[in-house]
Chains A and B, each alone.
Chain A
Amino acid sequence: MPDLGRAALVTSFLLLSYATVAGAFAAWHGRRRLAESAQNALVAAFAATVVATVVLLVALAQHDFSFTYVANHTSRELPLGYTLTAFWGGQEGSLLLWLLVLCGYSVAAVLTARRAGREVLSWVVPTLGLVGTFFALLLVFVASPFATQVAPADGAGLNPSLQNPYMAIHPPMLYLGYVGLTVPFAFAMGALLARRTDERWIVATRRWTLAAWAFLGVGQLLGAHWAYVEIGWGGYYAWDPVENAALMPWLAATAFLHSVMIQEKRGMLKVWNVLLVTLAFCLSLFGTFLTRSGIIQSIHSFTQSSIGPWFLGFICLITAGSLALIFLRLPLLRSKTRLESLVSREATFLYNNLLLVALALTILWGVVYPLLSEAVTGEAATVGKPYYNFFLHSFGLPLLLLMGIGPLVAWRRASLRALGRTFLWPLAAAVAAGIALLAAGAGSSRIGVIAYTFSVFVLASIVLEFVRGTSARKGLGDVGWPGAFSSLVARNRRRYGGYVVHAAVVLLAIGIAGSSAYQTVREGRLRPGDSMTVAGNRLVFRGFQTSTESNHRAIRANIDVYRGGEYIGRLRPGKNQYFAEGQVSNEVAIRHSVLTGGDLFLIADQVNADGSLDLKALDKPLVNLIWLAGLVFIGGSLITLWPDAREQRRLAERYEGAAVQA
């Protein structure tokens, strides 16, 4: 069995190397047959990687502890589901997942994105092959998932806090995102190498970029939700290096998704786009590197492993190679048109891009600051939450505002008079909301009021766009409002799907502002019968209750919650003591309020021997909007991703014409 796995990986490595070398040779000399052979090698490498994956999954399912990997990450008592998801619980398995997803994406993208043109495609294959070769090399020579040992009686087990459905699905989501960014990167490099610097590579990879970006976004929200319900400190994002590692490529990809629209419509920003896609890809490699190398202190530092230097070398190679290529092709990347006005759709997209990239780079600076300061002063220093929050406010709030402005400004050149008309209602709504908020006493947090006011402005402008579009469409024929609305969205999926995603970001902003700027925290030591009050909720401690479960002892504090003298329910925060792992895990109790979207969040901080409890109670207004934003985000992404026959026909006509000319 392990031999089969090893052989499959070696085969995959050889095939990917062949795809790289033969593919590059074929593309260079224009050998069509050889290029097809390289492409077939990519498909075969995918098949070989699937075999390796199946071998590891079977070993996990059979509890075959002669596999070092299986013994280190599972145990006999672990349920089958978590046993299988241990596939990506450790370093070797997650590298294998990287390779599997990469090969899958590569095959699918190469087979479906023929529109990019044959010359471009023949360079895409060796680029994808190169990235795949790197990961296969690591799996064969450095971190093999098929290392064997004398089988122990039982495995080491899985950390109880990771035995959670969110944790099972969060890593593969992130991987689908990280790895997916390879596709647009490879097509950009392919276009540069083939000297086809028009927008065809962008059109051909649009869906792949969007899908990768959506997976990355959803993956992060799942991670945040897991941290919120499972870790029990009352937060969902801590600016930890590993969390930032996923946020940075997402920000760069967000910038890329916007700026490619300018290249599609106006033929501008070609250099910027290839730089952005390179940045996004390098940040995704850097993210994998951060997670896996343990170079920067993080509460997530899973492994202190030997693959760090390999990754660093590969990142340097990719960065240097792509920058050199972009430099060589600069003459081909000149824009045909230029920015005509500072008040135009293009200009607002440019502002948005600069802010997103600035945010990503300041986060990157914060992440690598310990390394830099150690190199300069000899003493590692870390930047904390205030640093990140400062830049989130400085760049994030203007971004939020731009989200309301950008989509409503005309291309090329907008007149101020037209702008005044467009923005009259959103502006009025925002001002009214701002005044109402101040009157309601929200002025305790200036940032919060600004964020809410901007959010109202953006939401109003989005709603207005939907209303305008629907009524225009209704005017065209005798259909009702719902019919006009659905045909509006169906005919402009990219545009209106984009608005839905914007609405999701607004919900996210409202949720974050509400749960951080307006949260209330109370702590206290309670004896049975004692009470404390947080944000109008009176919490009465009624004593502990202990029960013994199959693998842990559960201690729960019974807390009765009263609001305005009325009993509204019992919450039971506590702790679990696991017998096998000898670990304690905090079990928080959360009471969601459907009406206000807020949470009452209780943490049994310390269970004392004298029967008293140190209770931490948090009131987190509007926090559930963050999770709602996740659902809206998925919906919006699906709308933009949905296949569109009309768009396909239009593109086909456009490029058939171009192909005849060329």
Chain B
Amino acid sequence: MPGKRSPARLIVALSVAAVLAVFLLYTSIAGGGTPSLIPSQAAGHAGRISVGGMVVGKPTGDAHAGGLHFRLRDPKGSATIPVVYTGSVPDLFRTGREVVVDGKLRSGVLVAVPDTLVTKCPSKYTPKT
């Protein structure tokens, strides 16, 4: 043991270094997070994005065959984006609900990653203001 330094400091220093190393390793492999956007911001993103907005119009198609088609609108705005979704559809999904879905843009259409559709809890908890 060199000097009179307490080994506790050595442990702490080494552990901090190890944690940082693991962290850097992760961020270098996986990169940052998924950008979470509203429909009007989605254009121009090539990678995976997460889009949150309100379902407008009547959803058509079949989420288990060919895909469910619907449009998402900015929660406070008018810009919309078309979405094609496959996979499980949450019980609370319907026109007028706020939902979040992950996917990639293919010529202006958000092609969703299967099973990523989530609805935000409907506000039975709070009064509509």
Contact = CB atoms under 8 A, between A and B. Distances in A.
A91 B126 CA distance: 8
Interface stretch (A17-25, A151-159, A205-213, A247-255): A151-159
A518 interface: no
B6 A382 contact: no
Nearest to A524: B64
Interface of B: 6-8, 10-12, 15-16, 19, 22-23, 26, 30, 32-37, 41, 50, 52, 62-65, 88-89, 91-92, 100, 118-127
Interface of A: 68, 72-73, 89-91, 156-159, 162, 232-233, 268, 297, 299-305, 338-342, 347, 350-351, 354-355, 358, 362, 369-370, 373, 379-384, 386-387, 390-391, 394, 523, 525, 575, 581, 583-586, 603, 605-606, 608, 614, 616
Contacts, number: 129
A90 B126 contact: yes
A342 B7 CA distance: 7
20 contacts: A91-B125, A159-B121, A297-B52, A297-B100, A299-B120, A302-B123, A342-B10, A354-B15, A355-B15, A358-B19, A369-B33, A373-B32, A381-B35, A382-B33, A387-B26, A387-B30, A390-B26, A394-B26, A606-B64, A606-B89
A91 B125 CA distance: 8
Contacts of B22: 391, 394
B11 to A, nearest CB: 6
Given A158-B124, A354-B12, 6 more contacts: A90-B125, A268-B8, A302-B123, A350-B11, A383-B33, A583-B92
B126 A302 contact: yes
Chain B at the A interface: SS class = mixed
A261 B61 CA distance: 61
A358 B15 CA distance: 9
B8 A338 contact: yes
A169 B50 CA distance: 33
A525 B65 contact: yes
Given A302-B121, A370-B33, A338 B41 contact: no
Given A299-B118, A390-B26, A583-B91, A380 B126 contact: no
Contacts of A585: 91
A347 B35 contact: no
Contact of A89 (B36, B91, B120, B125): B125
B127 A72 contact: yes
A144 to B, nearest CB: 14
Contacts of B89: 605-606
B126 A339 contact: no
Nearest to A587: B91
Contacts of B37: 379-380
B38 to A, nearest CB: 10
Given A233-B88, A302-B125, A338-B8, A297 B36 contact: yes
